[in-house]
Homo-oligomer: A and B are copies of this chain.
Amino acid sequence: MGNKKKAVTIHDLAQELKVSPSTVSRALNDHASIGKQTKKAVRKLAKERGYRPNTIASSLRTNRSNTFGIMVSWINRPFISSLISGIEEAARESGNRVIISQSHDITELEMENLQVLYDSRISALIVSLAMETTDYSHFELFTKNGIPVVFVDRFPTIHNIHKVHINNFSAAFEATEHLIQQGCRRIAHFGGERHQSIYEDRRSGYIAALKKNNLEVDKSIIIQANLLSAEEGMRLTKQLLDIDNPPDGIFCANDTTAVSVIRCAKSRGIKIPEELAVIGFNNDPICEIIDPPLSSIHHPAIEMGMAAVKQALAILAGDTSTGPVSSVTLDTHVVIRASSDRLGTERSEDGFRGVLPESKVKDSAPQTK
């Protein structure tokens, strides 16, 4: 183990076959102007000697690294890890590698790590913004140097960008209307940083649904969180449930806080969904696990990752059919479970209902280790 014998190069093959390195290179790349015999001989020897192309050298010469960079907040979050899984798969299928980097939701770290990605001369960058980030100038390093940047999920509030996203407004609208249909009349909202458009849009969709249904918009039950973490969720829910006129429904901007709401409510003996109907966002695996199962918005993480790669590839191929920028919107849908199902139509015994989109998610992301 650990021998440091040098790897085989095309020069080694060339020497042995008494041809030039150019010929070897072309033979391996199936260039038209190389004879059949030669190609066969080269490939045979390459295999025998265990030749493997040096991607680094190739990248330097061709100026194409065939590598995508990913910048996300935290790798170990259900939505993000599925997103990455989708990116990895689509990238691999198109012959690209994937370098990964996390910002820990801190803008400064995002900036630092972007430098590293740039130094790696990635072919394209796929980003989901750090929660903190409000200034986007650090992405110009890429755009100004001709490296496509595709934003996924959390994207900047500026116009000239490529992005893959969902319609957060309408998803939130549907979620809220669902609660209203279930009889809720005083619906609270758990929202994230408003400078992140996805959270602002979810908030707007929620408010629009209330207004459309002639329900009061009470800002005292619109909760503002920073990171939408479990701890925040627990702490803020306690406050919310302590007020004189507590809500009878709540729409949370993510599942993590929704779970905290359920746990807090349960500990107080508040019946879900009868006294408090809850719906989250993302359709994380925990939705099916918690008792009662949590209604949510299905957020197509893997598909979003794949779409981002597809979009990056199109840009690299010079596809300008969508104009200077492109925006892909993926579909979401409400997944109704017991936490919001006051009419009792969706209940089951063991909680295993063959809901189509969910089994689909499971197929591509089994919760095994």
Asked if A65 is at the interface of the complex by the 8 Å CB criterion, the answer is yes
Asked if A362 is at the interface of the complex by the 8 Å CB criterion, the answer is yes
A56 x B121 contact (CB < 8 A): yes
Copies per complex of this chain = 2
Bound form: Cα–Cα A352–B228 in Å: 17
B101 x A116 contact (CB < 8 A): no
The contact of A81 among B59, B75, B366, by CB within 8 Å, is B75
Residue with the greatest number of chain B CB neighbours at <10 A, chosen from A2, A84, A102, A141: A2
Asked if A186 is at the interface of the complex by the 8 Å CB criterion, the answer is no
B92 x A116 contact (CB < 8 A): yes
Binary contact track A190-220/B, C-beta < 8 Å → 1, others 0: 0000000000000000000000000000000
Measured between beta carbons, the chain B residues less than 8 angstroms from A256 are 366-369
Name which of A17-25, A286-294, A331-339 contacts chain B: A286-294
Asked if A277 is at the interface of the complex by the 8 Å CB criterion, the answer is no
A229 x B367 contact (CB < 8 A): yes
Name which of A26-34, A143-151, A163-171, A175-183 contacts chain B: A143-151
B143 x A1 contact (CB < 8 A): yes
Instruction: For the complex, count residues of A whose C-beta is within 8 A of B.
Output: 88
Measured between beta carbons, the chain B residues less than 8 angstroms from A324 are 1-2
Measured between beta carbons, the chain B residues less than 8 angstroms from A231 are 362
Measured between beta carbons, the chain B residues less than 8 angstroms from A340 are none
Asked if A264 is at the interface of the complex by the 8 Å CB criterion, the answer is yes
A100 x B98 contact (CB < 8 A): yes
Interface residues of A in 285-305 (CB under 8 A from B): 285-286, 289-291, 301-302
Asked if A78 is at the interface of the complex by the 8 Å CB criterion, the answer is yes
Given contacts A55-B120, A121-B54, A145-B7, contact A76 B78 (CB under 8 A): yes
B145 x A230 contact (CB < 8 A): no
Closest Cβ neighbor of A109 among chain B residues: B92
Bound form: Cα–Cα A100–B123 in Å: 16
B81 x A228 contact (CB < 8 A): no
A5-B144, A5-B146 given. 9 additional CB < 8 A pairs? Answer: A53-B119, A54-B60, A74-B85, A89-B102, A97-B101, A97-B116, A99-B100, A230-B362, A286-B289
B99 x A52 contact (CB < 8 A): no
Chain B nearest CB, measured from A346 CB (Å): 16
